[in-house]
């Protein structure tokens, strides 16, 4: 049986059909006659029910939060379920049983930062990363429309672009190099070859974090082009941000 993404179930494309899903256990609630499983994959979450008479009951009992699995079942409309659809499970194949998942309700931000690799599985972080990916796509759309060429400057530099006090130094074989603070100098060199150039790349600055706006590592959208003045620059930036915001509101509303 072909495996379908959960989003197809939520879109109503599978109502009344038997489907196969694979993903992870997002939530679990057990009753005497029914086990409720909320299953997630990268596209969404869906509620699944396992009845006591189902062949899948014993496997459902074993499942822990974040266990990976493959299941089969019938899709039915149910307005009480998350997303409006529910799957009556007839078969479960456990791929991997997870250990006790450390994230429960009301965890502090400090704790979640310490286990970021697990917090990335949350629905909120899933959506943040999806919107971020779209935002970068919209930025590239605009640069392409303006006939800019994307380039990939090196991350190791030999001299400061900004202040020398904010450089991260490192040993590069027998040389002393630094992590880049900005790709500005490389982009300026490329002006004379390609004219309109930009890059989307990480920058590193050894700044003391006095506010949430001070980051030692962040992703930087930078552009350079010739024959322009400050008014041209401000107009370009305003149009870039307008394009990104409008496209984000259009595509990422859900």
- Tell me the per-residue pLDDT of 69-84, one tens digit each, with 9 for 90 and over: 999 999 999 988 888 9
At residue 201, the pLDDT reads 96
For the chain, where are the alpha helices, taking DSSP H only? Answer: 6-10, 57-62, 109-114, 116-119, 123-145, 184-194, 230-251
pLDDT band at 222 (very low <50, low <70, confident <90, very high): very high
Given this model, what pLDDT does residue 159 score?
A: 85
Provide, rounded to the nearest whole percent, the portion of the chain with pLDDT above 70: 99
Of the ranges 77-86, 131-140, 233-242, which one carries the lowest mean pLDDT score?
A: 77-86
The alpha carbons of the chain give a radius of gyration, in whole angstroms, of 25
Element (H, E) at 55: none
pLDDT in tens, 177-189: 999 999 999 999 9
pLDDT the model gives residue 177: 94
Q: Under CATH, which number does the domain 6-96 receive?
A: 2.40.50.140
Separation CA 183–CA 200 (nearest Å): 9
Per-domain boundaries in the chain: 6-96, 109-251
- Report the pLDDT value the prediction gives residue 41, as an integer from 0 to 100: 96
Q: The domain 109-251 belongs to what CATH superfamily? A: Bira Bifunctional Protein; Domain 2 (3.30.930.10)
User: Are residues 161 and 211 in contact, defined by beta-carbon separation less than 8 angstroms?
Assistant: no
The pTM (predicted TM-score) of the whole model is 0.85
SS3 81: coil
Q: Dihedral angle at the C-alpha atoms of 182, 185, 186, 191, nearest 10 degrees?
A: 130
Q: Residues near 88 by Cβ (< 8 Å), separated by ≥ 6?
A: 48, 49, 51, 73, 74, 76
């Amino acid at each position: 049986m072909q495996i379908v993404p959960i989003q197809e179930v939520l879109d109503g494309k599978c109502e009344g059909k038997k489907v196969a899903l694979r993903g992870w256990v997002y939530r679990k609630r057990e009753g005497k006659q029914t086990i409720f499983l909320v299953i997630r994959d990268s596209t969404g979450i869906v509620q699944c029910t396992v009845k006591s008479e189902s062949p899948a009951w014993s496997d459902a009992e074993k499942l822990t939060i974040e266990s990976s699995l493959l299941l089969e079942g019938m899709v039915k409309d149910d307005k009480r379920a998350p997303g409006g659809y529910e799957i009556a499970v007839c078969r479960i194949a456990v791929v991997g049983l997870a250990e006790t998942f450390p994230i429960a309700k009301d965890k502090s931000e400090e704790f979640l930062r310490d286990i970021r690799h697990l917090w990335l599985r949350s629905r909120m972080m899933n959506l943040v990363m999806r919107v971020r990916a779209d935002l970068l796509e919209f930025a590239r759309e605009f640069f392409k429309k303006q006939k800019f060429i994307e380039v990939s400057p090196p991350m190791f530099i030999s001299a400061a672009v900004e202040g020398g006090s904010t450089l991260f130094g490192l040993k590069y074989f027998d040389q002393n190099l630094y992590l880049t603070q900005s790709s500005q100098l490389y982009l300026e060199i490329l002006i004379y070859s390609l004219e309109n150039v930009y890059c989307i790349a990480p920058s590193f600055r050894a700044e003391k974090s006095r506010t949430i706006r001070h980051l030692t590592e962040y992703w930087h959208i930078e552009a350079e082009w010739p024959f322009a003045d400050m008014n041209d620059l401000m107009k370009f930036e305003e149009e870039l941000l307008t394009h990104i915001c409008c496209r984000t509101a259009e595509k990422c509303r859900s």
